């Protein structure tokens, strides 16, 4: 619901495995205090909005096993120099369906800054070096 984006002090949003569908709103950028965003294992579609890069405190992002496609926006990858890719964080701080799948040999989601990639077909994941 749109009222979610009025929660300006929200730090953690875990929607893991809830059968949610639809696209991620560009309004996600209004959640500027967001530290953790877990959208994994839902039926989300579309692309990851560039506005997510406005969440300057973001430390942990999981979008694997969704139908989010396209590529990681530069604005999100730019967080690598800030909080998202801190060395003291979990090694799976940005997890997406960016492994080539066994059928098409093409990654479902293109990501140059993910820490862990999954195969969209088999759900097998691999931590990247």
> What is the block-wise mean pLDDT of the chain (129 residues), using blocks of 10 residues?
91 95 96 95 96 93 94 90 56 86 85 90 85
CA 61 vs CA 64, 74, 96, 105, 107: distances in Å: 9, 15, 9, 25, 18
Q: Which helix (H) or strand (E) holds 75?
A: helix 74-77
Sequence-distant (≥ 6) Cβ neighbours of residue 8 within 8 angstroms: 30, 31, 32, 33
pLDDT value, residue 89:
52
pLDDT value, residue 122:
86
pLDDT value, residue 104:
81
Task: Specify the pTM.
Answer: 0.89
Return d(Cα 74, Cα 71) in angstroms, integer. Answer: 9
pLDDT value, residue 50:
97
Structure tokens at 31: 């959640």
Contact status, residue 70 vs residue 47, Cβ threshold 8 Å: yes
Buried b (16+ CB within 10 A) or exposed e, 80-97: eeebbbeeeeeebbbbbb
């Amino acid at each position: 619901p749109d009222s979610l984006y009025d929660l300006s002090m929200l730090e953690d949003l875990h929607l893991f495995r809830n059968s949610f569908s639809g696209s991620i709103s560009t309004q996600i950028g209004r959640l500027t205090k967001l530290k953790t965003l877990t959208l994994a294992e839902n039926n989300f579609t579309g692309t990851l909005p560039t506005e997510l890069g406005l969440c300057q405190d973001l430390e942990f992002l999981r979008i694997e096993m969704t139908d989010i496609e396209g590529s990681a926006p530069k604005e999100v990858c730019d967080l690598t120099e800030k909080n998202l890719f801190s060395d003291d964080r979990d090694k799976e701080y940005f997890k997406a369906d960016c492994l080539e799948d066994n059928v098409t040999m093409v990654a479902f989601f293109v990501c140059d800054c993910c820490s862990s990639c999954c195969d969209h077909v088999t759900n097998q994941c691999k931590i990247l070096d």
